[in-house]
């Protein structure tokens, strides 16, 4: 069954993107290594992480980016195209946290005949609040083009 496809004309500034939550636990730490192939021990070895000055292991760039990109790709449908993506890793997600991944439409415009939607995306947890603010520039199909 085809996934829902948003069109540029139907999107409103302020619309929420459907988000999701990920439990950060031992299983997630292993999935993180499997999915990212990032073996830097600060992300899986608590002793190494503490010796480096951190309180515990924390989720890496690969998992964080995959989660925030998923917020966008879950929403933009098969015909959407993520043209640019930016995110900052200001705080950490550690075992015991629930990583909530969210997004909101911040702007929409036409540039060079392409129909852009800019979205704020972010991850947050109860311990730190917003940990990872980001922004996505998405090209959506327009109903005019589809007609």
Partner 1 sequence: MAGAYDIEAVRRKYVGMETVPTRGRYPVEHDPIRRHCHMVEDTNPLFLDPEYAGKTPWGSVICPPSGWLAMYFASFGPWPPVFEPLVPVVPTPGKRIVNMNQEVEWFDAIRVGDHLSVKRRIADVYQKPISLDQEAVWIVSESIISNQRGEVVCVVRNTLLFHRSPEEVAAAEQRDT
The whole-angstrom separation of Cα 5 and Cα 27 is: 33
96 binds partner 1 (CB under 8 A): no
- Exactly one of 10, 78, 144, 145 binds partner 1 (CB under 8 A); which one? 78
49-to-40, 56, 113 alpha-carbon distances in Å: 10, 6, 48
- Exactly one of 8, 17, 36, 57 binds partner 1 (CB under 8 A); which one? 36
Of the listed pieces 11-19, 24-32, 103-111, 112-120, which binds partner 1 according to CB under 8 A? 24-32
42 binds partner 1 (CB under 8 A): yes
109 binds partner 1 (CB under 8 A): no
By DSSP bridging, strand 16-23 and strand 114-125 are unpaired
For the chain, the distance separating the N- and C-terminal CA atoms, rounded to the nearest angstrom, is 22
- Exactly one of 22, 119, 121, 140 binds partner 1 (CB under 8 A); which one? 22
Is the CB of residue 117 less than 8 Å from the CB of residue 8? yes
79 binds partner 1 (CB under 8 A): yes
State residue 46 phi and psi, 5-degree precision.
-60, -35
Q: Which is nearer to partner 1, 12 or 84 (CB)?
A: 84
Beta bridge partners of 102: 122
- Exactly one of 9, 44, 45, 82 binds partner 1 (CB under 8 A); which one? 82
Side-chain-side CA neighbours of 72 within 13 Å: the count stands at 28
Contact positions toward partner 1, by CB under 8 A?
A: 2-3, 20, 22, 28, 31-32, 34-37, 40, 42, 51-53, 60-63, 65-67, 69-70, 73-74, 78-79, 81-89
């Amino acid at each position: 069954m085809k996934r829902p496809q948003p069109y540029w004309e139907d999107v409103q500034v302020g619309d929420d993107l459907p988000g999701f939550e990920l439990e950060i636990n031992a299983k997630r730490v292993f999935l993180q290594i499997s999915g990212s192939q990032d073996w830097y021990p600060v992300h899986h070895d608590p002793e190494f992480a503490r010796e480096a000055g951190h309180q515990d292991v924390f989720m890496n760039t690969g998992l964080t980016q995959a989660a925030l990109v998923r917020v966008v790709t879950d929403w933009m449908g098969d015909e959407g195209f993520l043209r640019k993506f930016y995110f900052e890793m200001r705080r950490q997600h550690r075992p015991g946290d629930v990583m909530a991944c969210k997004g909101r439409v911040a702007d929409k415009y036409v540039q060079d005949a392409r129909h852009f939607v800019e979205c704020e995306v972010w991850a947050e947890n109860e311990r730190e609040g917003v940990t990872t603010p980001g922004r996505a520039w998405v090209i959506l199909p327009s109903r005019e083009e589809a007609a």
